[in-house]
């Protein structure tokens, strides 16, 4: 999580969000972007030391197709989880200050951001780029935009996301809320999928070291 999500006095700046969104302050968005640039730069420099001249590698990771970071595809996915957390605040189950202080350590870059870091590091040439689209539901391998059962898909998405971030949620809010939270999240996702079958962009890039 980047340091810029709270003020110098420790006041949360990204209130009611757990990731960057349309309501996040510009400073929070910029902090996430700068953290990504630092981390990806360090990653590339470290891999170059391992590969040496003439080395190659293929990377696969989530990205976004929208140049405007707060409206990226991952923002929608995490926004539905934030909605579930905030509902639990309104019901007195969770403390608002804890939810406001919680932010996820993820960032999905645009391809322009990926290229910019690779060029600034200067150790690699971008040999090839492919962009694929993955359904939110990991068990839905259909390529069309129809939802056959949004309830089941909502549950599948909630299970996969829970497997990913359960330790972070439990550490911040306690294990006792997990079943309730992800049940609410599944319903939020199911509702969203009725309106739009959103897909996540997956970037696959081939890099080769400069000689």
3-state secondary structure of 52: coil
pLDDT for residue 210: 87
Instruction: Write out the two tokens for 207.
Output: 């890099």
Which residues, at least 6 apart from 83, have a Cβ–Cβ distance to it below 8 Å? 188
Spell out the per-residue pLDDT of the chain, length 211, in tens. Answer: 999 999 988 899 999 999 999 999 999 999 999 999 999 999 999 999 999 778 999 999 999 998 899 988 899 999 999 999 999 999 999 999 999 999 999 999 999 999 999 999 999 999 999 999 999 999 988 777 776 689 999 999 999 999 999 999 999 999 999 999 999 999 999 999 999 888 999 999 999 998 7
pLDDT for residue 211: 73
Whole-angstrom Cα distance, residue 184 to residue 167?
A: 18
pLDDT for residue 147: 64
Which residues, at least 6 apart from 51, have a Cβ–Cβ distance to it below 8 Å? 57, 209
pLDDT for residue 193: 92
């Amino acid at each position: 999580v980047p340091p810029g999500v709270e003020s110098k006095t420790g006041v949360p700046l990204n209130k009611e969000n757990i990731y960057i969104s349309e309501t996040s302050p510009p400073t929070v968005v910029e902090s996430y972007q700068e953290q990504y640039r630092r981390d990806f730069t360090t990653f590339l420099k470290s891999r170059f030391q391992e590969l040496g001249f003439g080395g190659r590698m293929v990377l696969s990771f989530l990205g976004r197709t929208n140049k405007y970071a707060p409206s990226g595809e991952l923002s929608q996915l995490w926004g539905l989880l934030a909605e579930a957390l905030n509902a639990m605040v309104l019901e007195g189950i969770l403390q608002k200050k804890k939810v406001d202080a919680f932010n996820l350590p993820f960032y999905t870059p645009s391809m322009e951001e990926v290229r910019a870091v690779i060029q600034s590091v200067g150790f690699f040439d971008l040999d090839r780029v492919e962009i694929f689209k993955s359904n939110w539901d990991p068990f839905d391998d259909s390529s069309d935009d129809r939802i056959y059962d949004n309830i089941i898909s909502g549950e599948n998405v909630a299970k996969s996301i829970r497997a990913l971030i359960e330790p972070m949620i439990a550490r911040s809010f306690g294990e006792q809320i997990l079943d309730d939270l992800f049940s609410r999240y599944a319903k939020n996702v199911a509702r969203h999928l009725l309106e739009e079958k959103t897909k996540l962009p997956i970037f696959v890039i081939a890099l080769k070291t400069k000689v």
